[in-house]
Amino acid sequence: MFQEFDIWKLLAGLGIFMFGMFLMEESIKKLSGRAFKGLIRRFTTGKVKSIFSGAFVTSILQSSSAVSLMVLAFVGAGIMTMENAIGVILGSNIGTTITAWIVATIGFKMAIESFALPLIGSGGLGIMFLGKSEKYSNISKLLVGFGFLFMGLGYIKSSVEVLANSIDIGSLPDYGILVFVGVGIVLTAVMQSSSATIAIVLTALNSRIIEFDSAAAVVIGSNVGTTVTILLGAIGAVQVKKRVAYSHFAFNLITGIIALALMPAITYLILQVFSAKGNEVMGLALFHTIFNVVGVLVFYPFIHPFANLLTKVFPDRRTALTRFINNTTTDVAEAGISAMRKETLHLVKNVLRHNLNILHIDERLVFSNYDYSNAEKQNVESAYNKEYENLKLLQAEIFTFSSGIQERELTKEEALELNRYMHGARMALHSAKMLKDIHHNFDEFENANNAFLNNQYTHFRKRLIETYLEIDKLIDESDEDKPNTILKTLAHLKKDDNQFVSLITLAIKTKQIDDIDISTALIVNRAFVQSSRQLLLTLKELLLTSEEVANFEKVQEMNDALLEIG
């Protein structure tokens, strides 16, 4: 009965289809990945916006997995709240239904060879002759991917049609709807692509191998199966990743249950009211969209309490951020103040790491003899905003500890010393915040289509390394003349600031910079200089004696006056 059926043709078609999807996803991400990340970051300030953003980006990227990874990154970085992340995930489920519409409207309505082969041919030639240009190379890959997608669909379609002619549909047993749901889950989990599962079930429905109800059940199963990959990835992962993964699973599972319960009503609506009886392939695409939209409408009012529930189930694990004050009591003021000084220096070191990461600078280019702990190494690898949150927590621990010392009876000298260290902790955190707030500007300078901004990005990195090498010597106690080194470095910062303004003025005259970038560049430079200045002033408070501080401030006033005159 199956003599004419070619299993290899079916598998080849499936492989070509999935490879086409892969090429499309990769090329679109490279062409517009930054733009979509920016879109998700900017347009997820509310639940409704998040849903629409998730639907739009997923429909373009054709990958809910890619969108989920973006969501994980943004939530982990503190850019996106858990509620808005759930909104993006809800929207991504609607966005994935576009694949079914593309396959249903083009794949079964037109002669596939009439456009698949020209797409592959023109895209392949584009890769050969335009491959040196990253932009045109990715456009060519997009065309090839689109062509492969429909070529694979053509192979699947022809092999399934042969299978349909080889079997008696009426002789097939009725396995029940739940079995077909299970088939959808397993197929999607194995292939890690709900799009491939939907392509197969649309082809089987078009060939009359399965009935509409059974096909709809497979589609429901594919929605649940698409969460298997992210669930496996969440095993042993950080808490925020678990929250996102389980929110995705919970939504798809609940939506699937709702779709099963409403299947008779939705099927009647599609086949009878919308008259899709003669065009069941389009009807199945409509079913896929309807039950996902219904799921979003049902789930929407519960986003806030669900986000709170996930936070309680998967609470953040607080790591030991302190290294000195956690082992010290506030009962003895002298010991407590000494521990607080060391802890504030520890805060400064972590601020240095945070700021280096902002500009993607390897720590080994700056640091000499630091004692790295496992927690610190892990912290360096985390997102900028997560690092900043840890810095805030560490500063809070320092201030809490200092309040305990202040309850003791302190001498005048001890009180002044304690206040200096608290002031230093505030300035250190301020240094990190200033660079955190402009890190996206550095990314824009690095990727701008403007040689002047590209060069300034490189120069900012060089300036930071030079300044931090001096700071490293100060912290490492290898510099014996600390007041003079701090003064020289501050003067150098001032000189660099003036030189940058001069460069901007020259760039304006020679049309090297657009008007819209002038203010941004000046603001970024000012924040950059102030960030380094705050760290140097922090070290003044932590490393110099009271007498040295008094002399330092006198000399600094004189230097500032001379620089202003010059």
Backbone angles phi, psi at 5, to 5 degrees: -80, 125
Identify the residue whose tokens are 């900012």: 460
Residue 496: how many CA atoms within 13 Å on its side-chain side? 23
Count how many residues are written for the chain: 566
Residue 4: how many CA atoms within 13 Å on its side-chain side? 11
Count CB atoms within 10 A of the CB of residue 178.
11
Q: pLDDT of 175-204, one tens digit each?
A: 778 888 888 888 888 776 777 788 888 888
Helix (H, G, I), strand (E, B), or coil: what is residue 357?
helix
Nearest C-alpha neighbor of 536 from the set 479, 444, 472 = 472
Show Cβ contacts of residue 445 under 8 Å, excluding neighbours closer than 6 positions: 453, 454, 456, 457, 460, 521, 524
Tokens of 77: 């970085």
Using CA atoms, how far apart are residues 549 and 542, in angstroms rounded to an integer?
10
Tokens of 435: 């660079």
- Report the alpha-carbon angle 173-178-181, nearest 5: 105
Q: Would you call 391 exposed, middle or buried from its count of C-beta atoms within 10 A (0-12, 13-18, 19+)?
A: buried
Backbone angles phi, psi at 438, to 5 degrees: -115, 10
Tell me, what's the pLDDT at 375? 39
Are 293 and 96 within 8 A, CB to CB?
no
Show Cβ contacts of residue 240 under 8 Å, excluding neighbours closer than 6 positions: 72, 75, 76, 82, 314, 316
Using CA atoms, how far apart are residues 375 and 543, in angstroms rounded to an integer?
26
Nearest C-alpha neighbor of 213 from the set 165, 248, 263 = 263
Nearest C-alpha neighbor of 434 from the set 322, 533, 541, 343 = 533
One pLDDT digit (tens) per residue for the chain, 566 residues? 445 557 777 788 778 877 877 777 677 666 655 555 556 656 667 788 888 888 887 777 666 666 776 676 566 545 577 888 888 888 888 888 887 887 777 766 666 666 678 888 888 888 888 877 877 887 888 788 878 877 776 777 677 666 555 554 444 456 778 888 888 888 888 776 777 788 888 888 887 778 888 889 989 998 888 887 677 766 666 677 678 788 888 888 999 999 999 888 888 888 877 766 667 888 888 888 898 899 899 988 988 898 888 888 887 655 568 887 876 667 667 777 888 888 999 999 999 999 999 998 888 888 876 554 443 444 444 456 678 888 998 999 899 888 888 887 788 888 888 999 999 999 999 999 999 999 889 988 988 888 999 999 999 999 999 999 999 888 876 667 888 888 899 989 999 999 999 999 999 999 898 888 899 999 999 999 999 999 999 999 898 887 887 787 777 666 665 555 54
Show Cβ contacts of residue 287 under 8 Å, excluding neighbours closer than 6 positions: 216, 219, 266, 267, 270
Are 141 and 114 within 8 A, CB to CB?
no
Tell me, what's the pLDDT at 144? 87
Tell me, what's the pLDDT at 25? 66
Tell me, what's the pLDDT at 344? 92
Nearest C-alpha neighbor of 424 from the set 299, 283, 537 = 537
Using CA atoms, how far apart are residues 146 and 191, in angstroms rounded to an integer?
19
Nearest C-alpha neighbor of 447 from the set 13, 33, 141 = 33
Tell me, what's the pLDDT at 377? 44
Show Cβ contacts of residue 343 under 8 Å, excluding neighbours closer than 6 positions: 322, 323, 324, 325, 394, 397, 398, 401
Are 383 and 241 within 8 A, CB to CB?
no
Domains defined along the chain, listed by start: 7-313 (no CATH), 327-565 (1.20.58)
Using CA atoms, how far apart are residues 319 and 323, in angstroms rounded to an integer?
11
Q: What is the CA radius of gyration of the chain?
A: 31
Tell me, what's the pLDDT at 238? 62
- Report the alpha-carbon angle 349-352-355, nearest 5: 150
Q: pLDDT of 289-340, one tens digit each?
A: 898 899 899 988 988 898 888 888 887 655 568 887 876 667 667 777 888 8
Count CB atoms within 10 A of the CB of residue 63.
24
